[in-house]
């Protein structure tokens, strides 16, 4: 383990384990990111063989994410199941309104519910933490409809707490940047298709191979790539040698225009196009 926890975080860790023990058994919706990895680790510690991690695979999963999730699950020692979800078969998902995530999570949680008897568990848990409550998260509506528990919230853990606990437990994803699904890169109202998310995935892989760690390639229009990197990385991105590679490779992927967002990387930046997203509900 990497260092001691503060008394406050040690108390939260103990509460998290108690919360999970109270479930009796649990299936963790596990993406391999830091939040779900901490829930999976805590579930394994608290419940042992009565815990299972479930990873959903679809075209919206970025390259390499499944392999990393498998590697971390093996490190944790939790039973790990991989399932395929079919959110791209849903018209409500593909139309890509601001409630898209609701339909994706509905597909995931419905699949997991049907699997509970064969998995031998009774409760589904996700990786939502306290900081998620103030963001636009239509997937949390789906979680409520399917009685999905959020043990990190129940135990009072913020994102910073989660990262500190992951580091304490020696999880290699403790400082991993957030990696939402590839569909989140596509502007609302622009249809989500397997071809478009593959295009985004290939573009982001180009940038990662050039050494950029935190990034997004947004799709504001069908043939436009809008690159976001942290402000401190902008000078390197526009260096002539790097810029030339990025432009050449992204145009080879199929983008006609390659642009850079001068505001830099921002999670959920496409939400600025939505307006009053807080008034939107699934099905409207």
Residue 173 is assigned to a structural domain of this protein: no
pLDDT of residue 132: 87
Residue 283 is assigned to a structural domain of this protein: no
For the cut 50, the answer to whether the pLDDT of residue 257 exceeds it is: yes
- Who's near 241: CB < 8 A, 6+ residues apart? none
Residue 22 is assigned to a structural domain of this protein: yes
Q: 134 and 222 share a domain?
A: no
Residue 176 is assigned to a structural domain of this protein: no
| pLDDT, mean of residues 4-8 | 91
Q: In this prediction, what percent of the chain has a pLDDT beyond 70?
A: 92
pTM given for the model:
0.90
Q: 187 and 87 share a domain?
A: no
Residue 282 is assigned to a structural domain of this protein: no
**In the listed set 143, 168, 193, which residue is the last one of a domain according to the structure?**
168
- Mean pLDDT computed over every residue of the chain: 92
Residue 279 is assigned to a structural domain of this protein: no
Query: What's the pLDDT tens digit per position in 26-56?
Result: 999 999 999 999 999 999 999 999 999 999 9
Query: What's the pLDDT tens digit per position in 119-172?
Result: 999 999 999 999 988 667 888 999 999 999 999 999 999 999 999 999 999 999
**In the listed set 168, 194, 228, which residue is the last one of a domain according to the structure?**
168
CATH number at residue 48: 3.40.50.620
Position with higher pLDDT, 267 vs 159: 159
pLDDT of residue 268: 59
Q: 14 and 83 share a domain?
A: yes
Give me the sign of the Cα torsion angle 123, 124, 126, 132.
Answer: negative
For the cut 80, the answer to whether the pLDDT of residue 12 exceeds it is: yes
Residue 19 is assigned to a structural domain of this protein: yes
Q: 30 and 119 share a domain?
A: yes
**DSSP character for 6?**
P
pLDDT of residue 2: 58
Q: 150 and 22 share a domain?
A: yes
- Who's near 192: CB < 8 A, 6+ residues apart? 60, 88, 93, 94, 96, 100, 183, 186
Band the pLDDT of 4: cuts 50, 70, 90. Answer: confident
pLDDT of residue 209: 97
Q: 134 and 197 share a domain?
A: no
Q: 156 and 93 share a domain?
A: yes
pLDDT of residue 278: 40
Q: 77 and 27 share a domain?
A: yes
Band the pLDDT of 273: cuts 50, 70, 90. Answer: low
pLDDT of residue 18: 98
CATH number at residue 197: 3.30.70
**DSSP character for 269?**
G
pLDDT of residue 284: 33
Query: What's the pLDDT tens digit per position in 62-115?
Result: 999 999 999 999 999 999 999 999 999 999 999 999 999 999 999 999 999 999
pLDDT of residue 283: 38
The DSSP code sequence of 188-201 is: TTSPP-HHHHHHHH
- Who's near 166: CB < 8 A, 6+ residues apart? 34, 37, 38, 41, 173, 174
pLDDT of residue 108: 97
Pinpoint the alpha helices (H) of 24-57.
34-47
Listed range (62-66, 81-85, 233-237, 266-270) with the worst mean pLDDT: 266-270
Q: 65 and 87 share a domain?
A: yes
Q: Do 228 and 262 contact (CB within 8 A), yes or no?
A: no
Q: 86 and 134 share a domain?
A: yes
pLDDT of residue 266: 82
Q: 97 and 36 share a domain?
A: yes
Domain that holds residue 195: 182-273
The tally of domains found in the chain comes to 2
pLDDT of residue 214: 94
Q: 153 and 190 share a domain?
A: no
The DSSP code sequence of 213-248 is: -S-EEEEEETTEEEEE--GGGHHHHTSHHHHHHHHH
pLDDT of residue 124: 98
Q: Do 118 and 79 contact (CB within 8 A), yes or no?
A: no
| pLDDT, mean of residues 174-188 | 94
**In the listed set 168, 195, 221, which residue is the last one of a domain according to the structure?**
168
pLDDT of residue 280: 43
Residue 41 is assigned to a structural domain of this protein: yes
pLDDT of residue 276: 44
């Amino acid at each position: 383990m990497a260092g001691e926890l503060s008394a406050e975080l040690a108390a939260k860790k103990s509460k998290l384990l108690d919360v999970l023990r109270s479930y009796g058994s649990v299936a963790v919706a596990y993406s391999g990111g830091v939040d779900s990895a901490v829930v999976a680790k805590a579930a394994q510690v608290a419940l042992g063989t009565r815990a299972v991690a479930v990873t959903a695979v679809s075209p919206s999963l970025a390259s390499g994410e499944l392999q990393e999730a498998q590697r971390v699950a093996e490190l944790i020692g939790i039973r790990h199941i991989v399932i395929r979800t079919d959110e791209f078969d849903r018209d409500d998902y593909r139309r890509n309104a601001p409630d898209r995530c609701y339909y994706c999570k509905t597909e995931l949680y419905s699949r997991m519910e049907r699997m509970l008897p064969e998995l031998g568990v009774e409760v589904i848990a996700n990786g939502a933490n306290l900081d998620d409550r103030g963001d636009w998260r239509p997937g949390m509506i789906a979680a409520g409809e399917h009685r999905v528990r959020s043990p990190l919230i129940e135990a009072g853990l913020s994102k910073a707490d989660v990262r500190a606990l992951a580091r304490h437990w020696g999880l290699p994803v403790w400082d991993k940047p957030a990696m939402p699904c590839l569909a989140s890169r596509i502007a609302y109202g622009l249809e989500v298709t397997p071809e478009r998310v593959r295009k985004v995935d290939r573009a982001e892989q180009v940038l990662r191979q050039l050494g950029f760690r935190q990034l997004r390639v947004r799709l504001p229009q069908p043939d436009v790539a809008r690159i976001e990197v942290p402000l401190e990385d902008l000078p390197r991105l526009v260096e002539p040698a790097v810029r030339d590679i990025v432009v050449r490779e992204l145009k080879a992927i199929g983008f006609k225009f390659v642009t850079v967002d001068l505001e830099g990387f921002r999670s959920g930046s496409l939400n600025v196009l939505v307006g009053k997203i807080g008034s939107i509900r699934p099905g409207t």
